[in-house]
Amino acid sequence: MPIRTVMKANEAAAWAAKLAKPKVIAAFPITPSTLVPEKISEFVANGELDAEFIKVESEHSAISALVGAAAAGVRTFTATASQGLALMHEVLFIAAGMRLPIVMAIGNRSLSAPINIWNDWQDSISQRDTGWMQFYAENNQEALDLILLAYKVAEDERVLLPAMVGFDAFILTHTVEPVEIPDQEVVDEFLGEYEPKHAYVDPHRPITQGTLAFPAHYMETRYLVWEAMERAKKVIDEAFAEFEKKFGRKYQKIEEYKTEDADIIFVTMGSLAGTLKEWVDKKREEGYKVGAAKMTVYRPFPVEEIRELAKKTKVLAFIEKNISMGLYGAVFTDASAALINESEKPILLDFIAGLGGRDVTFDQLDEALSIAKKALEEGKVEKPISWIGLRKELL
Amino acid sequence: MAVRKPPVTTREYWAPGHAACAGCGCAIALRLATKAFSEAMEEKYGDPNAFAIAQATGCMEVVSAVFPYTAWKVPWVHVAFENAAAAASGIEAAWKKKGIKGKILAIGGDGGTADIGLQALSGMLERWHNVVYLMYDNEAYMNTGIQRSSSTPYGAWTTTSPPGKYSIGEDKPKKWVALIAAAHQVPYVATASIGNPFDFIKKVKKAAKVDGPAFIQVHCTCPTGWRTPLEKGVEIARLAIETGIWPLFEIEYGDIWNIKIQPPGGGAKVHKEGGRVVRIEFKKPIEEYLKLQGRFKHLFKRPEAIEELRNQIKAMWKVLGVEAILPKPEE
């Protein structure tokens, strides 16, 4: 029987790791993710989890040790955030290039400077080109579920790529919410044993991993990673379907909320989706034709789903907690690329909000709505990007 | 007729055909190290193949594993430049969980060990992983084309420490990673050299057999970066030992008071008190080592720099608890 209890997202991530039974875990404490390795230490200390827990001296070594362990053919896990994830950056490419299905939990936190421990998505969005799949959780239950799903997809032979699961710093990492812990037997059945055919360090079957590739070979290895990421789209859908059958919770790459007959649809990721849905309820009551959509999978980018969503509305607005300096937010930019050759497309808007842990309030969403409404009325937009919730008196 | 037993197994783990420069001293080190390692594994676990390698980016990595070829007859993993020790930690942990008996050999050059990889090395040592870390020390970043590292000796020319009107060449004393490793109080730390292959083989076997981490810093020549004749590598490495430039020692559990110093040979007189080496009178001047190498050529116009180097070597020996008496060339 599944256990219904309450816990923080960090604990949910640790529980997910415990259920997935990784053989090697390597982690370095960093706010807001510290509770994950602490909780895992407890599990290991009490014999509830039979894993080697390497208490590394840095995040760089955490991911490096996991590349070693995954190359040796075992299931692995780590958790980090912010500067820690940035420190891992170069090794993330290596993990993907070596086709190692490492799974990592991210307590999404801003990047310095100024140093700030609170939530935005800049840390993981900045890793979008590394070849890691990216999932974003709306709540603590999703944090647990998506980690299990990440293993399922990452270890699928059609994919064999690493994956990260992000959940918002403090808003989720340190907030207690109801969570259902699934049955170990069902998780075992869902994930199965990980026995890779391509990665092992076996004295009696010596293989060489991590070679140098000349221009004659390098490009194909990159193409194969890209192709695997394309294939992952279908594998993710299959995994979602199987998950729903086994655990009764439904996941979609893009989850829609009151989008039917909407003139304006706001798209976001992570915990902000919860706020957005409540706000949509309120606006609907006030007579506005608005809808919401939550993006659960950011890499591979849900191109088809975005196209379907775009057909349903006149204004498609993205609210995101990251910014690509010199252009727009990353989600908006990627979505625009997905729609670039569509004969008909809605007006696309980008709202930058909630950086460094600033609360995204209904008032701010109203501010976004008024900009979107103006675009809708005029049928065009001068500048697609707006920063909302800025304190003008400080600028 | 009695056949003499070869000093180390005839099995090969580092296959011929790799792309190292002619006369590469590091290739000698790796070939001997893998042979010695397999012999130790055979003696300890009854399985000569009970080991795997995690290697840092560097000369020996790029010359041995160019897709689709490999020179390695053992399981081998390369991740990046600064993390061979961390990758080895991960492989060792996976082996523990998989119940695979054996030991991991981590390999890095001086750049990947003394500089960018020092933190990962320290972590690996203090966490007590069952790994031998072999630092092949050719005293500069050779893979990128001869740039100085913290392991480059005083006075040496490199592309980033060129001698000139305001420069003597490298102007800092060499950093001894073996002593930093010893500070972690791990079971076994040693220096070795391709100039004394028998000593090197013995030390690799010792390191491979201890339970827990071990570190070996092996001096290997680089004809390309040192500007030396291709065929003189081992001879030059031997001169480094005989002139006092390269000490051979073993430190167990960080016990520097009971450091074991191997006699340098070359006519040097070793004085002991209570079993400890306290003084070594070297017979060969360091000039004999320096003069064979293009990287030190400019020093011979700067006798005060050679004197400075002599003083630095004495100071290094003093750290090891030994008074080194270094002769000057016959005036």
User: Do the chains contact at B65 and A203, CB–CB below 8 Å?
Assistant: no
Cβ neighbours around A366 below 10 Å, total: 13
Q: How far apart are CA B265 and CA B64, in angstroms?
A: 34
C-alpha to C-alpha distance for B258 and A124, rounded to whole angstroms: 51
Structural tokens at position B55: 């290697």
Supply φ then ψ for residue B131, to 5 degrees: -135, 140
User: What SS3 state is found at A282?
Assistant: helix
Q: How many CA atoms lie within 13 A of A92 on its CB side?
A: 25
Amino acid at B63: V
Helices of type H across chain A: 9-20, 35-45, 59-71, 82-97, 122-125, 140-154, 184-191, 215-247, 272-285, 303-310, 330-339, 362-378
Residue B1 has pLDDT above 90, yes or no: no
Instruction: From chain A, pick out residues whose CB is under 8 angstroms from the CB of B127.
Output: 54-56
Residue A153: per-residue pLDDT: 98
**pLDDT-based confidence at B2, cuts 50/70/90?**
confident
Kindly indicate the confidence band of residue B5, based on its pLDDT and cuts at 50, 70 and 90: confident
Q: What is the mean pLDDT of residues A119-127?
A: 98
Question: Looking at the predicted structure, is the pLDDT value of residue A53 above 90?
Answer: yes
DSSP B231-296: GGHHHHHHHHHHTTSS--EEESTT-GGGPEEPP--TT-EEEEETTEEEEEE-SS-THHHHTT-GGG
Please report, for chain B, the start and end positions of each structural domain, with discontinuous segments joined by +. 25-263
Give, in order, the Cα–Cα distances in Å from B213 to each of A347, B58, B96, B134, B209.
62, 22, 15, 11, 10
Q: Nearest Cβ partner of A69 from B61, B90, B123?
A: B90
Is omega for the bond preceding A51 within 30 degrees of 0, making it cis? no
Percent of chain B whose pLDDT exceeds 90: 97
Are both A3-247 and A254-394 of the same fold? yes
Who has greater pLDDT, B309 or B2? B309
Which tens digit of pLDDT belongs to each residue from B9-68?
999 999 999 999 999 999 999 999 999 999 999 999 999 999 999 999 999 999 999 999
- B79 closest CB neighbour out of A64, A206, A214: A64
For residue B12, the chain A residues in CB contact (below 8 A) are: none
As a whole number of angstroms, the distance between CA B136 and CA B149 comes to 13
Report DSSP state, residue A298. E
What are the structural domain ranges in chain A? 3-247, 254-394
The residues, any chain, with a CB within 8 Å of residue A97's CB and separated by 6 or more, are: A131, A221, A222, A225
Indicate the pLDDT class of residue B208, thresholds 50, 70 and 90.
Answer: very high
Average pLDDT over residues B66-77: 97
A94 close contact with B: CB closer than 8 A: yes
Average pLDDT (A256-264) is 97
**By percentage, how much of chain A surpasses pLDDT 70?**
100
CATH class of the domain whose range is B25-263: alpha beta
Yes or no, beta carbons of B76 and A206 under 8 Å apart = yes
Contact status of A55 with chain B (Cβ, < 8 Å): yes
pLDDT tens digits for range A216-245: 999 999 999 999 999 999 999 999 999 999
Which residues of chain A lie closer than 8 angstroms to B77, CB-CB?
68, 71-72, 201, 209-210
Task: Kindly report the average pLDDT of chain A as a whole number.
Answer: 98
Residue range B246-276, pLDDT digits in tens:
999 999 999 999 999 999 999 999 999 999 9
**Is A265 within 8 Å of A313 (Cβ atoms)?**
yes
Distance (Å) from the C-alpha of residue A74 to the closest C-alpha of chain B?
6
Q: Is the pLDDT of residue B331 over 70?
A: no
End-to-end CA distance of chain B: 51
Q: Do A209 and B47 count as a contact with CB atoms less than 8 A apart?
A: no
Give the mean model confidence (pLDDT) for residues A13-35. 98
The CATH number of the structural domain formed by A254-394 is 3.40.50.920
Q: Is A40 on the interface with B (CB under 8 A)?
A: no
Query: What is the CATH code for A3-247?
Result: 3.40.50.970
Burial grade of A245 (CB within 10 A; 0-12, 13-18, 19 or more): exposed
Three-state DSSP at B328 gives coil
Predicted local distance difference test score (pLDDT) of residue A160 = 98
Distance CA A16, CA A11 (A): 8
Of residues B65, B85, B88, nearest to A208 (C-beta): B65
Residues 6+ positions from B7 with CB-CB distance below 8 Å: B197, B198, B201
Q: Which two tokens stand for residue A347?
A: 């007006």
Please give the residue of chain A at the shortest CA–CA distance from B55: A210
pLDDT tens, residue by residue, A155-169:
999 999 999 999 999
Which pLDDT tens digit goes with each residue over A124-183?
999 999 999 999 999 999 999 999 999 999 999 999 999 999 999 999 999 999 999 999
- Peptide bond between residue A114 and the one before it cis (omega within 30 degrees of 0): yes
A193 close to B (CB below 8 A): no
pTM over 0.85: yes
Range from A67-71, B6-10, B122-126 carrying the lowest mean pLDDT? B6-10
A131 Cβ under 8 Å from any chain B Cβ: no
Q: For A344-355, what is the mean pLDDT?
A: 98
Which pLDDT tens digit goes with each residue over B142-200? 999 999 999 999 999 999 999 999 999 999 999 999 999 999 999 999 999 999 999 99
